[in-house]
């Protein structure tokens, strides 16, 4: 019987689960839309989904070894809790305890940690020893592979890479601090900057791109207009790259990683983004003259990152 | 025969070496004053010192297992090089190659890394899994124990914790970046701040403490006058604690360490300093509400940290 691991990608609006083999292949997957409001429904939904996946594995002669979770929120990996997560009420949700009658090893981690592990086991950073993953979305998620292993910090509450201070007493951040990297280099920050630049540069191509309605601004607005040569958009992207680049220099100085892996919506910009980031890091000597260079890569596992990464948590 | 490890504490002005047993006890130590100018003399001094220590070990029936180095500069731990270090000219000093006829395993690390390892193996952070060490001196040295082991990053060039950006486009730092933590929270930064505060607050007790000569400012000036109730000095210390505290919040968010260990000259302030730092971190929820608390401890090994820590590098 082939060994498989179940990975669960918990989102605020849907929960996806899949059976993953030791090659990182998803053998089957399923999902459930959760109303995202009620803890009891949330837990019941997860259990039903898992029972379905486990049954499929049994019917198809796969030997389930354990269940890993990637959760968009704060977890306690020792106690198997979700302390809190977006879109779901409740505190300290006893997920591991709730699932104990499944009689399988269970491990709960943060979604960005899980993405980093997936990329290092089966994705773009395969086999690398030191990897820093940044997911650029509503916020900035961070995941760390250090000395070849996932690093989570005490209780699994580390790797909050979006919450390093870039500008002392800068913008208020959702975490309670001020001036966090997330406030300047997340996708949300890019949208804010786009609107600010548009207000300032009334003749920018970005207005046309948005049909002259600032409410149509998206993560593409600045990037697509910069590619077409719009001056304001290029200035904006340079500023954004500087913010993100300075955060990456912090992590370069701390970790000297073989690679940075960029995920999240903004990573769709691919080499256009990574080339700019690489140029910035090179110009700054990766934080220190004489420092080893780091690759800047785009995450590869995309929508399957959550399932594959979560399943990887319990592999050896 | 009892196993011993030789630890070498390399400084710009002197080199200390000692034989350390598996309990972290220094059985003998010796040192050599080096003129600190010439690479050839530097290497010859080190070898002669090591031959003396090794001879002593043999005469006293100790079995030397290896030699570890803590170097105040940039090293390449894979190649066994000192890329560059303070007070010694030359680049890429082939230390390991030069010592190969000693026929012993050799490992070269950065001095702050070595101090962190010493404190975790035999000092104030004994047995802890995740520890962040900061030495507050001319610069800020950083050392990381992660998942119970020394983390050095690629080539041993990581853990440069003084070089995270605290204030974007802030003060120019020796590393080439601007606004690094080191520029605001090192002992040198404290001296600069002390002089600035004295110029601004002409009635501060700090003037009397310095015999009305600003050239007499030391690392004690602000702390001692703050303890005596001087308003300007207290304001200064609060500002200093804020800078250092914000850097520690960055590391709290990244590592969730069990403890911060503070070393270097400023650590002589002991609990007066750690209590203020703890209060700051608590007020800021250790970076994130619901985060596990970190201890704030003073390094214990003091002048022996270099020898004991360096010797620890090769103890499994």
Q: What is the mean pLDDT of chain B?
A: 96
B166 touches chain A (CB under 8 A): yes
Cβ atoms of A300 and A124 closer than 8 Å: yes
ipTM reported for the complex surpasses 0.85:
yes
The span from the CA of B53 to the CA of B33, in Å, is: 16
The span from the CA of B5 to the CA of B16, in Å, is: 14
The span from the CA of A236 to the CA of A222, in Å, is: 7
Which of B282, B287, B289, B295 best probes binding to A when mutated, by most A CB atoms within 10 angstroms?
B287
Q: Strands A106-110, B14-21: parallel, antiparallel or unpaired by DSSP?
A: unpaired
Give the chain B residue whose CA is nearest to the CA of A246.
Answer: B165
pLDDT tens for residues B113-168?
A: 999 999 999 999 999 999 999 999 999 999 999 999 999 999 999 999 999 999 99
The span from the CA of A314 to the CA of A134, in Å, is: 22
Look at A249 and B74 and tell me if their CB atoms are within 8 Å. Answer: no
Whole-structure pTM value: 0.97
Look at B159 and A83 and tell me if their CB atoms are within 8 Å. Answer: no
The span from the CA of A70 to the CA of A93, in Å, is: 14
CB count in 10 Å sphere of residue B47 = 15
Cross-chain CB nearest to A164 (options B155, B167, B253) = B253
Q: What is the DSSP letter of A201?
A: -
In percent, how much of chain B has pLDDT > 90? 94
The pLDDT score that the predictor gives to residue B86 is 77
Q: What is the DSSP letter of A140?
A: E
The residues pairing with A171 across neighbouring beta strands, listed in sequence order, are none
| Residue the block writes with tokens 């100790």 | B62
Give per-10-residue mean pLDDT for chain A (316 aa): 97 92 98 83 95 98 98 96 86 96 98 98 98 97 97 97 98 96 98 98 98 97 98 98 98 98 97 98 94 97 96 94
Q: Which residues in chain A are contacts of B177 at CB distance < 8 A? A: 249, 284, 287
The span from the CA of A222 to the CA of B252, in Å, is: 34
pLDDT tens for residues B225-251?
A: 999 999 999 999 999 999 999 999 999
Q: Is A14 helix (H, G, I), strand (E, B) or coil?
A: strand
Q: Which residues in chain A are contacts of B154 at CB distance < 8 A? A: 129-130, 256-258, 292
Cβ atoms of A19 and A307 closer than 8 Å: no
Q: What is B132-162 written as a DSSP string?
A: EEEEESSSEEEEEEETTEEE--GGG----GG
């Amino acid at each position: 019987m082939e060994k498989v691991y179940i990975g669960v990608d918990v989102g605020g609006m849907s929960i996806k689960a899949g059976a993953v083999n030791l090659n990182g292949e998803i053998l089957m997957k399923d999902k459930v839309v959760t109303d995202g409001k009620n803890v009891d429904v949330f837990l019941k939904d997860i259990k039903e989904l898992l029972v379905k996946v486990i049954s499929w594995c049994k019917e198809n002669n796969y030997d389930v070894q354990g269940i890993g979770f990637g959760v968009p929120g704060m977890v306690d990996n020792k106690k198997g809790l979700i302390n809190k997560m977006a879109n779901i009420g409740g505190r300290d949700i006893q997920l591991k305890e709730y699932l104990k009658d499944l009689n399988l090893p269970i491990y709960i981690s943060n979604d960005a940690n899980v993405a980093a592990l997936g990329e290092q086991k089966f994705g773009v950073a395969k086999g690398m020893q030191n990897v820093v993953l940044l997911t650029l979305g509503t916020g900035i998620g961070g995941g760390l592979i250090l000395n070849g292993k996932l690093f989570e910090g005490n209780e699994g509450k580390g790797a909050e890479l979006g919450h390093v201070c870039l500008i002392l007493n800068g913008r208020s951040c959702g975490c309670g601090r001020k001036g966090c990297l997330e406030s300047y280099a997340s996708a949300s920050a890019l949208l804010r900057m786009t609107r600010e630049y548009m207000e300032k540069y009334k003749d920018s191509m970005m207005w046309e791109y948005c049909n002259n309605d600032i409410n149509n601004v998206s993560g593409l607005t600045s990037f697509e207009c910069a590619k077409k040569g719009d001056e304001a958009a290029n200035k904006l992207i340079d500023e954004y790259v500087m913010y993100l680049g300075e955060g990456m220099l912090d992590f370069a100085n701390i970790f000297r990683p073989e690679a940075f892996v960029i995920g999240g919506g903004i990573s769709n910009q691919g080499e256009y983004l990574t080339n700019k980031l690489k140029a910035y890091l090179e110009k700054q000597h990766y934080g220190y003259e004489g420092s080893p260079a780091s690759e800047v890569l785009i995450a590869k596992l995309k929508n399957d990152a959550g399932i594959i990464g979560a399943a990887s948590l319990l592999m050896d």
